[in-house]
C-alpha cells in the first residue's frame, strides 16, 4: 500500500492480519509516525495474529510486491503522478491499483503505464469492518488481473463486486445525492442534524444518520466526490469546508467533536 491516510492505514492493517505480511510506503518520517500510531490502534481491534506490517518511506520496498495499491488523496492529478512513479518501482508482473471512489479508472490506468495490469479497488471506511469492495477495470485488463484481484479481495475477508467505470461507481453515485438532499431538508425545515439523523436511523434503519456520515467521510472529501458524480452540493456544506470544519477529522462539521 502507498499512502498514510485512514484508508491506506486501514487496508495495510487488514492485509497484515489476513495475509501475514504487508508493506505501507508513506511520504515522510512524520507521515510514518502518524501511520504507526493509526495502524497500531487498528491492529489492536482486529482478531488474529497481527502479522508483519512494515512502514517505510522507501519506494524500493515495493519491488517484491505482487500487488501495489495507491491510497492517497482523491485528486486525479496526484493519483496519476504517483501511479506513474510506482510503475518504475513495482515488479513487471505486479498489478497496480487505486482505491479511488469516484475518478476515471481508464485515466488512472493509462497513467500507471500498465493499463492491462491495473484495477480500481474502492474499499469503504472503516476498512476493518466494511465488507464491500467495488472493483473496476480498464477495458484492456485481462481475466488474469480480474482473477488475481478477486482472490486478493477474498483473502482480505472482503466481497468484491465488479462495477462499471463511471463516476462514483454504484455506492457513491447513489449515496451522495441522498446525503446532500438530507442537508437541504435540514435547512428547508429548520431542523438540527440530530433530528434528521434520528429520523433516518429509527425510521429507515440506517446504522448512521446522513449528517453524521458526511462528518465521518469528511466534508472536503464529500465535496470532491459530489463534484465528480455531478450532484449539486449545498452551499452550507461548502461554507463549512471554507471554514475548515471538515467533520470528525477537524473536530467540527455538522457536529462538534472537540470534547
Locate 34 and state its grid cell. Answer: 502518524
**3-class secondary structure per residue, 122-158:** EECCCCCCCCEEEEEECCCCCHHHHHHHHHHHHHCCC
CA distance 211 to 104: 27
Locate 96 and state its grid cell. Answer: 497496480
CA distance 215 to 253: 6
Question: Which DSSP helix (H) or strand (E) runs through 75?
Answer: none
Please choose, from the candidates 112, 25, 36, 22, the residue with its C-alpha nearest in 3D space to the C-alpha of residue 60: 25
Q: What is the DSSP letter of 53?
A: E
Among residues 13, 134, 138, 250, the one annotated as catalytic is: 134
| Nearby residues of 173 by Cβ (< 8 Å), 6 or more positions away | 166, 167, 229
Catalytic residue flag (residue 31) = no
Catalytic residue flag (residue 44) = no
Among residues 101, 102, 112, 250, the one annotated as catalytic is: 101
Please choose, from the candidates 171, 165, 102, 167, the residue with its C-alpha nearest in 3D space to the C-alpha of residue 131: 171
Catalytic residue flag (residue 162) = no
Cβ atoms within 10 Å, residue 123: 23
Catalytic residue flag (residue 122) = yes
CA distance 189 to 209: 17
- Residues annotated as part of the active site: 101, 122, 134, 172
Amino acid at each position: 500500500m502507498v499512502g498514510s491516510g485512514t484508508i491506506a492505514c486501514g487496508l495495510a492493517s487488514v492485509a497484515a492480519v489476513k495475509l501475514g505480511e504487508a508493506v505501507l510506503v508513506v511520504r515522510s518520517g512524520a507521515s510514518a509516525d502518524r501511520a504507526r500510531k493509526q495502524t497500531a490502534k487498528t491492529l489492536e481491534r482486529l482478531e488474529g495474529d497481527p502479522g508483519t506490517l512494515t512502514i517505510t518511506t522507501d519506494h524500493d520496498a515495493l519491488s517484491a510486491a505482487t500487488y501495489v495499491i495507491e491510497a492517497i488523496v482523491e485528486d486525479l492529478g496526484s493519483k496519476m503522478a504517483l501511479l506513474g512513479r510506482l510503475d518504475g518501482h513495482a515488479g513487471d508482473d505486479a498489478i497496480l491499483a487505486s482505491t479511488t471512489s469516484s475518478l476515471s479508472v481508464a485515466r488512472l490506468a493509462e497513467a500507471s503505464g500498465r493499463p492491462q495490469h491495473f484495477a480500481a479497488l474502492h474499499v469503504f471506511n472503516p476498512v476493518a469492518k466494511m465488507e464491500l469492495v467495488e472493483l473496476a477495470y480498464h477495458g484492456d485488463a485481462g481475466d488474469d488481473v480480474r482473477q488475481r484481484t478477486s482472490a486478493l479481495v477474498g483473502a482480505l475477508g472482503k466481497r468484491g463486486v465488479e462495477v462499471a467505470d463511471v463516476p462514483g461507481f454504484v455506492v457513491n453515485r447513489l449515496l451522495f445525492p441522498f446525503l446532500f438532499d438530507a442537508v437541504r431538508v435540514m435547512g428547508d425545515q429548520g431542523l438540527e442534524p440530530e433530528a434528521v439523523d434520528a429520523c433516518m436511523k429509527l425510521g429507515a434503519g440506517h446504522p448512521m444518520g446522513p449528517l453524521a456520515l458526511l462528518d465521518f467521510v469528511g466534508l472536503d472529501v464529500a465535496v470532491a466526490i459530489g463534484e465528480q458524480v455531478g450532484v449539486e452540493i449545498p452551499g452550507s456544506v461548502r461554507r463549512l469546508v471554507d471554514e475548515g470544519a471538515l467533520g470528525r477529522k477537524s473536530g467540527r462539521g455538522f457536529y462538534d467533536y472537540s470534547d
